[in-house]
């Protein structure tokens, strides 16, 4: 499943050529991809004729600002891909559900074999309407996150985005001390932290030398600071390498190129292989039906 580094890679790539382009047509061939709308027609009507003004991200959501204060919001779900193409003559991959074409030429295609992802056009709340913003995100002291949540009620529930919401380690500490569940559960709960998933939570916890099942409230100040730093460092590094593409997953960037950060994973998908730090075999356990990888010697 694409996580923050993959979504950010897609955002940066699309920002380069979509901003300033005007949507000509939005062809929907699978209504499930636009399921928040009453009909595909409604989705089309909100998008066609509008120019893309910005490309942002919050958690795992891509957010394209339109010229009328609405936003095109895209979540890639488990297996979604956004692919650019020169035009209708390019062969459409199987499971292409939405094709957005532009007045200036070119197309953006949404491809998703499992169709857990979605696209929708969000209309800002009417003036004076109360948007319920995540109590964790409200701890933010800067960044673009709060503005995005106020404009887009559908994503207002998202917890802290490590880049778009600024919280110092002390506020991060307050969040952790309020949770008694294991660290991995806390880090991957999108209503607490937005953007981390199965892969990067494992990599972050290894970098911070903390076990997945450590109760969040039990961390010392030093451990909290280490975890806070590891989140930023691992995600920054993963973005630098274009995210991770695993054998069984579909993630590619808009040009169809896979990421290379999987070559740098310390624990994820390395069951039985020696830990790069201590040579003990990496262990895999199943937590909430998903694999967790860790080193029992290096993480405590």
Binding site for Zn ion (CB under 5 A): 275, 277-278, 295, 297-298
Using an 8 Å Cβ cutoff, are 2 and 60 in contact? yes
Is 2 considered catalytic here? yes
Q: Which member of 21, 53, 179, 290 is catalytic?
A: 290
The 52-58 sheet, strands edge to edge: 52-58, 61-66, 71-75, 118-122
Long-range contact set of residues 39-46: C-beta below 8 Å, sequence gap at least 24: 43/119, 43/120, 43/121, 46/70, 46/121, 46/123
Q: How far is the CB of 207 from Zn ion (least distance, A)?
A: 12
Closest CA to 11 of 80, 51, 73, 62: 62
Q: How far is the CB of 273 from Zn ion (least distance, A)?
A: 11
Output 73 or 207, the one with its CB closest to Zn ion: 207
Q: Which member of 11, 44, 57, 60 is catalytic?
A: 60
Q: How far is the CB of 225 from Zn ion (least distance, A)?
A: 21
Using an 8 Å Cβ cutoff, are 34 and 118 in contact? yes
Sign of CA dihedral 215, 221, 227, 232: positive
DSSP-assigned beta bridge partners for residue 72: 64, 121
CA 208 to CA 160: how far, in whole Å?
19
Output 52 or 295, the one with its CB closest to Zn ion: 295
Is 3 considered catalytic here? yes
Is 113 considered catalytic here? no
Q: How far is the CB of 299 from Zn ion (least distance, A)?
A: 7
Q: How far is the CB of 209 from Zn ion (least distance, A)?
A: 9
Is 290 considered catalytic here? yes
List alpha helices for 102-220, DSSP H: 145-151, 169-177, 183-188, 198-207
Known catalytic residues are 2-3, 60, 290
């Amino acid at each position: 499943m694409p996580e923050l580094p993959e979504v950010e890679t897609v955002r940066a790539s699309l920002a380069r050529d979509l901003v300033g382009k005007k949507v000509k047509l939005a062809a929907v061939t699978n209504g499930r991809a636009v399921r928040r709308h009453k009909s595909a027609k409604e989705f089309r009507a909100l998008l066609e004729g509008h120019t893309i003004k910005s490309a942002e991200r919050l958690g795992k959501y891509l957010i394209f600002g339109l010229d009328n204060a609405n936003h095109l919001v895209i979540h890639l779900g488990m297996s979604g891909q956004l692919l650019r193409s020169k035009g209708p003559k390019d062969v459409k991959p199987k499971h292409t559900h939405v094709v957005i074409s532009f007045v200036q030429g070119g197309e953006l295609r949404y491809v998703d074999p499992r169709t857990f992802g979605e696209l929708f056009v969000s209309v800002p709340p009417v003036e004076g309407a109360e948007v319920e913003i995540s109590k964790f995100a409200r701890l933010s002291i800067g960044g673009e996150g709060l503005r995005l949540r106020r404009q887009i009620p559908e994503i207002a529930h998202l917890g802290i985005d490590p880049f778009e919401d600024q919280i110092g380690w002390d506020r991060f500490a307050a969040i952790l001390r309020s949770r008694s569940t294991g660290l991995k559960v806390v880090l991957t709960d999108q209503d607490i932290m937005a953007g981390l998933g199965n892969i990067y939570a494992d990599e972050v916890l290894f970098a911070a030398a903390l076990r997945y099942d450590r109760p969040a409230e039990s961390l010392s100040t030093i451990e909290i600071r280490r975890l806070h730093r590891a989140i930023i460092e691992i995600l920054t590094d993963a973005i630098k390498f274009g995210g991770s593409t695993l054998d069984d997953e579909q993630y590619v960037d808009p040009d169809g190129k896979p990421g290379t950060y999987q070559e740098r994973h310390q624990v994820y998908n390395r069951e039985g292989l020696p830990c790069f730090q201590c040579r003990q075999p990496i262990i895999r356990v199943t937590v909430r039906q998903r694999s967790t990888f860790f080193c029992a010697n290096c993480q405590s």
